[in-house]
Structure formats: structure tokens, C-alpha cells
Chain A
Amino acid sequence: GNSVTQMEGPVTLSEEAFLTINCTYTATGYPSLFWYVQYPGEGLQLLLKATKADDKGSNKGFEATYRKETTSFHLEKGSVQVSDSAVYFCALTKGGGGFKTIFGAGTRLFVKA
């Protein structure tokens, strides 16, 4: 079946460090891929998305590229800020029986000043 695997956290970085959070997926066909962010005490917010192979999603300095050949969608940011501290979820959406979204387990990021 379809699934999403992302690196375990927590990830602790100093401000202005480079961030990578790995995400790989298993799915038939061509799912759409998403990164969501969850700040403490809040619901999920869409961070970025990509709908086909080689697409790059970007938002607020974060980027991720849909790699069909490696079934990956790694999240990167060149310089993190304290305000980026949150839980990040990789997800895929696939049609058939409704557009079901499958989430990874989440990666908690702590950024120190």
C-alpha cells in the first residue's frame, strides 16, 4: 500500500544552519507530495507541494523537489530561524476512493538562538 517514511527527530540546529529533513514514499502511479508544518498548539499548515516528477515546491525559504527515480521529497532550507521550530510532516495524496492523504510520522525541529 501507499506509505510515507521520514527521518526521525528531534532535529536540533543552531540559527542560520542548513536544514534537511528526508522523506521517501511508496505509492503506485503518480501521487502528489506535500510538506505540512504544525506549530505548537496549532493545526496543520500547508508549507509546499509538488504534483509531478521534477517539480520543485517552495515557500518561506523552504524547498523540496519531487524525485520519482528515488521516490523522495526531501525538505531543505538554507538558513533556519528560531521561528521555524515546529513539527514537519511529509504527505502524499493519491486518487481512487477519494483523495486520501497519507502522512509520515513527523519530524520535530528545534532551532536554538
Chain B
Amino acid sequence: ETGVTQSPTHLIKTRGQQVTLRCSSQSGHNTVSWYQQALGQGPQFIFQYYREEENGRGNFPPRFSGLQFPNYSSELNVNALELDDSALYLCASSTREAGGPQTQYFGPGTRLLVL
């Protein structure tokens, strides 16, 4: 069973550019969540995808968008990058548990630096 993988591991962009981060979920998982972790802080929930549909969103502007594909892998897209977007972006996969919360399995993250 393969775990959650993310690509790329590191990325440097400049203000105003666009970026796409990728996540492959763990085998058998149909739900992917994305988080932003600024340095020295806890992860902040961006959004969640379940069976290719957005299923919950945190307090992030519309320039943060995502996709989930039929194989349950996912992309996070950020347009018009700002300096404050510099952070570790974490992807977590999970599977629905009847009537209960999901146990999430995290990838190693993509570290984005915006100059």
C-alpha cells in the first residue's frame, strides 16, 4: 500500500505567478484535503474534495482552487501569488467512515516560496 505523495517537494515562484501542486492519495481513499502551514504555525484547512466535488472550504480566497480526478488524485492551484502564500502545503487523504470523522493520512508536503 503506497502512502500519500506530493509533488514537487520545493518550489520558488514570484509574486503574481500561478502555481499547481499535486497530490496522489493513498490507495483506497476517496477524499482529499489540502492545508496551508505557515512557518511555526498549525495547518490551516483550505478545502476538501470527495468524489471529485468540493466538500467544504476554509477561509481562503477564490484564487485558491482545486480539482480531484477520477483516480482520486488532486491538484491545488493558486493564482496571483502573494508573498504571504509562502508556506508548506499539505495534502491529506482519507476515506469516509460511516457516521464518523475521517482519519487523515498526510503527505510530506510541498514547500512554496514566493519572492
Interface of B is mostly: strand
Are the C-beta atoms of B90 and A44 separated by less than 8 Å? yes
Across the interface, which residues of A come within 8 angstroms of B44, CB to CB?
Answer: 103
Are the C-beta atoms of A99 and B48 separated by less than 8 Å? yes
Binding site for B on A (CB under 8 A): 4, 31-32, 36, 42-46, 49, 51, 89, 91, 93-95, 97-106
| C-alpha spacing A101/B103, complex, angstroms | 10
Are the C-beta atoms of A98 and B90 separated by less than 8 Å? no
Classify chain B: how many residues form its interface, as a range.
Answer: 20 to 34
Interface of A is mostly: strand
Are the C-beta atoms of A97 and B104 separated by less than 8 Å? no
Are the C-beta atoms of B109 and A43 separated by less than 8 Å? yes
Interchain CB contact (< 8 A) of A104 among B4, B31, B42, B50: B42
Binding site for A on B (CB under 8 A): 4, 31, 33, 35, 40-45, 47-48, 50, 55-58, 90, 92, 94, 100-109
Interchain CB contact (< 8 A) of A99 among B57, B102, B108: B102
